[in-house]
Structure 1
């Protein structure tokens, strides 16, 4: 059986306004292409492996596949790219049947788009975005090797991956009922418009829910993690409600956007079970997902809850260790 690895490279990841307003690192298309070329080299550890890539409007995928090493079969998914998140979701839907593992180059938003559409196909997430709570800073070659041994069955997918949670907001407002889903966080922001989508002003944060939380993470999950730590594979999450720092009895210091450490007043912060709601009532606000503003709301009740229904994320070290235990890397 051929080991098939899907590849998603988001050209827009790591290029928003936070490069001008904060210290977010830049990940241009050349850097993404070089990382993806390393992924293909890593996939080559499995003889006869195949890589199937998401097409993109910038043509990055075609250039990546042109430089594939000998022994790695390649192909493009057959659809015309539109140049937005819909491309990632369409590719992930195809990968449900066409891939045994998927490597995603992007940030939290790209992984959310892939993870909510790919079903149970395990993801290897490589950090090339702005908000990088979920994806890790792993060498592309190593990521490709991990995806290949999972796709090949040399490492058992369920044993070396974990189910990541999500955060889900149900909005009942003037325009009706709507849903916003985040992979790591959903936030409620005291602003009127989506605008550039990037969250820039920590003082506008009203609160939110994180499916995972640690003080070393960025945004809502980092602030919540200063009070309650939740591991990525733990059930439930944390709900946090902010208050003006000068009026709050408790304050936390957290990285609110890359390059910015803020002091935030905390009115409430508590551990939530899976599907337990954390409520907000607003006249005007924006609901954000994974650090990006998504939905403008008016006169709304917002119920945000953690859910245990996210994608399977591969533990790269565990995958390679499992393959090594089986003698995969040793030849006579």
Structure 2
């Protein structure tokens, strides 16, 4: 059976950065609309069943009921039978269940943080990330109809996953030899010693930045590296930036509408699968893809490592072009 999964995060795009920046707001009503368009397109291109993560806003239920009311639902849509907590744990549980069910593609609606949580547990299933968050370097702005078509192509079984997808990099953080967490885009050392609202936006508290990619079109703390040098998601390795008072600085967009002058003390490339030791000099936190997650204290020895253990991310343009070339969209 050709199946896809949908994980729509009702909390994406609602962190404190909405108050201190000028980010686009994609509310949960629009997320319902996006899910409806994914379903409508997917059922036209061979998808036979769709699994959706349950959530506190009931995005999946509302999308399904709307389409039933309009008499437009033509396939089986199942909301996963799982206990919801209203936390990131729901995303992890849903991802695991969808993989157990053997879905051909998971479509995520969220930001960098949502996809980082998925990346912590996803294994071989292709991931199609749609941007509905704040700082969105990892997911892309993609119309729901196109997302449904692409997911159907990927899950059709007609194409080799290695052709349509690219195994992404991830940044692994180890403490005392144990993997404690990961990031898809950046890990930022902050002098803030509490997780609090989790989202991080104050550049004056930042001392070190590790990134898996860097480009001037990025936003968030990875843009600090991106306004100094360039490293694509397809290139191996990462970049380390030490920031503070320095004769050299860059102007970088650290949040939507927020451009700051950032002093750069050091900037260097990091090799793949290489351990980089970091000694913590004062109590603080590590923000992973924009959210403070890990509390650290003076004297801690951390290891940062770039690997290709990230998700199989769908290449949308390549997928559509290959499908078109073999006549996937031609109906006779």
Q: What's the TM-score once normalised by structure 2's chain length?
A: 0.93
| Deviation sequence 1:169-218 (CA, Å, 0-9, x none) | 2245xxx9772311111110111211111112111111121111112112
Residue in structure 1 matched with residue 265 of structure 2 by the alignment: 267
The farther-off stretch of 151-160 and 98-107 is 151-160
Superposed, 1:19-98 pairs within 5 Å as: 19-68=18-67, 69-98=72-101
Q: State the alpha-carbon separation in 2 of the partners of residues 280 and 224 from structure 1.
A: 21
* Runs of 4 or more above 6 Å deviation: none
Distance change in 2, residues 1:280/1:259 (3 Å) = farther
Shift of 1:60: 1.5
> Are the aligned partners of 2:137 and 2:185 in contact in 1 as well (CA < 8 Å)?
yes
Alignment correspondent of 1:159? 163
**For the Cα contact (< 8 Å) 1:49–1:148, is it kept in 2?**
no
Scaled by the length of structure 1, what TM-score is found? 0.93
Q: CA deviation at 1:303?
A: 2.7
Q: Output the CA distance in 2 between the equivalents of 1:297 and 1:48.
A: 46
Superposed CA offset, 1:127-167 (max 9, x none): 00112110000101101110111101244322111111111
Contact 1:184–1:210 under 8 Å retained in 2: yes
- Contact 2:4–2:106 under 8 Å retained in 1: yes
Give the Å deviation of 1:278: 5.3
Q: 2:108 matched to which residue of 1?
A: 104
Equivalent residues in 2 for 1:1-332, closer than 5 Å: 2-68=1-67, 69-98=72-101, 99-171=103-175, 179-244=180-245, 248-276=246-274, 277=276, 279-299=278-298, 300-332=300-332
- Summarize the Cα distance change of 1:296–1:66 in structure 2 as closer, same or farther, 3 Å threshold: same
Report deviation, 1:48: 4.9
Q: Deviations over 1:259-290 (max 9, x none)?
A: 11111111111111113315242221111100
**1:212-231: CA deviations, max 9, x gaps?**
11121122321112223221
Distance 1:103 1:297 in 2: 33
- CA shift, 1:122, in A, is 0.3
> 1:233: how far off?
2.4
Query: Structure 1: which 5+ residue stretches go unaligned?
Result: none
Length, aligned pairs only: 325
Label 1:280 to 1:260 Cα distance change in 2 as closer, same or farther (>3 A): farther
